[in-house]
Structure 1
């Protein structure tokens, strides 16, 4: 299995497996800037529509096969099964080879073994979602991180933070005029960045559910990046380019990173009035270079801010 870079994920859009235009998105006839797509068989599909959704997914994979496979430059493609039992079935589909991996909903230490047994295809990478009450416990997350290291570490591209589910468990919903970092999720994201990051796992940022405040989305993305998060779930296609723009690296950071990773560099040096110490900053520098590889470098803006984007489709057409 060739593991994709977590920085290749960029903006990740969830779409219900019942949609009829999935093939257009996979082959970039629609949403050409999308970097990663999750076809959802879980929350975005009602129980009565599961059979229809599975049949539609099967037709999609057959259509991809008939075209000779996916485009090399197309979006990464994942499927979110409803549960481990469904994942076990999909794992055996011959045409599942056209999928990069599965998003694992509601992963816990208690159901880890069932997922490990269900997804035996070594070509499928995994993106577990952290969205259950035990996520609030550093001890539980440490135990989960250690278990993942022992079992699935080499197959996990990134861990996804399920912000809405976690807030919902507290009976909360974010204030539409503040970022997620003004809620208890600030603690959760900081804690997960420390616990999971120190165990070698990349993390992606929760969805931003407001559609008419792009400037607030930009503010949240700046905080996402400051916490080391590598991508973000998009709730609507109009968020894709905003997310990708904010994942670009600054020219100053890029130049600092390049100097830090040089083989022949001093133990400590000054760059842009900041101390650079390769022994401690090397991992940061390699992450900056990887981010720049996938998202590029920030360009000076000719105007300040953006006009609010216009929603061209119902949010219900997409899933998160």
Structure 2
């Protein structure tokens, strides 16, 4: 029986290559005990000649998995590679898969392979569908056929910028670019309105703590939760930023417990029904990450 997970619990998801020397210590929480989730990467993180070594390392490492391990996901190379991984010894010890380059071409095949399993799924949209509203709508409908398995929808932020021939500096948000903001805005509107959650994209400047903080806060403002991280220094920063304020928590609890449909709250109008989901999210964040002192 798989661990029950909500997307709120994932926090910062550290991507590490399958051949990483610290894979076992990370999974056993000897290293980075504060890490909540990780992705073992067979795609971008490995050359072809390293693939067999990756298999062997992951098989031996999965033996140390336990209920206290971070939530563990694997990113295969493609559909055929996912089939191979599903037959790998110890694969039942992971929590799910990130499906790279998820598209209208391969999405049905990906989902078919996983439909009789209890693995969680995080499709990653990285291709030309990002720029086509009609195709995004089609992808949404496809993903909704397996909604009960979908933790988060991820998107390739750097892939998006590459296709637009753009690159941002460390002090720029992707929302500062007209095209980038429009693309992600469409993604948020289409998928979140269908009840699907979306992860924040990677922040590549791993030595810039202040820039990372700004990026996470902008994610939260735009309704994105969960974050691809590429350096362990980002773990504690993210966990701290995901805490809620006492005021946010108190307001959320008042909305959830109120017997009034509409009422005044700290100089603002509060509507119990329309604000229920947001309030539930605030309470869940407080339970997982805590309340800011």
TM-score, normalising length from structure 1? 0.87
| Partner of residue 168, structure 1 | 162
CA distance in 2, matches of 1:271, 1:265: 14
2:198 is aligned to 203
Compared CA separation, residues 2 and 154, structure 1 to 2 (3 A) = farther
Alpha-carbon shift at residue 270 of structure 1 (Å) = 1.6
Q: Which residue of 2 aligns with 1:39?
A: 40
Aligned to 1:17: 18
Cα gap change, 1:121 to 1:80, in 2 (>3 Å):
farther
Aligned to 2:101: 106
Q: Give the equivalent residue in structure 2 for 1:146.
A: 141
Deviation at 1:297? 1.5
Between the aligned partners of 2:116 and 2:53, the Cα distance in structure 1 is 24
CA distance in 1, matches of 2:185, 2:219: 10
Structure 2: gaps spanning 5 or more residues: none
Alpha-carbon distance, 1:119 to partner: 2.5
| Partners of 1:268 and 1:278 within 8 A in 2 | yes
Q: CA deviation at 1:275?
A: 1.1
Write the distance in 1 (CA, Å) between the matches of 2:137 and 2:170.
Answer: 32
Secondary structure of 2:61's partner? helix
Question: 1:9 Cα shift?
Answer: 0.7
Alignment of 1:247-262 (within 5 A): 247-262=242-257
Whether 1:116 aligns to 2:111 is: yes
Q: Unpaired runs of 5+ in structure 1?
A: 300-320
Partner in structure 1 of residue 292 of structure 2: 298
Aligned: 1:185 with 2:186: no
Relative to 1, partners in 2 of residues 1:94 and 1:46: Cα closer, same or farther, differing over 3 Å?
closer
RMSD: 1.5
Q: Which runs of 4+ in 1 moved over 6 A?
A: none
Equivalent position of 2:278 in the other structure: 284
Q: Distance in 2 between matches of 1:74 and 1:53?
A: 20
Residue among 230, 234, 237 paired with 1:239 = 234
- Relative to 1, partners in 2 of residues 1:177 and 1:293: Cα closer, same or farther, differing over 3 Å? same
Change (3 A) 1:120 1:60: farther
TM norm structure 2? 0.95
How far has the Cα of 1:94 moved from its partner?
A: 4.5
**Distance between the aligned counterparts of 1:120 and 1:280, measured in 2?**
33
Cα deviation for residue 60 of structure 1 reads 1.3
- Report the count of equivalent residues: 291
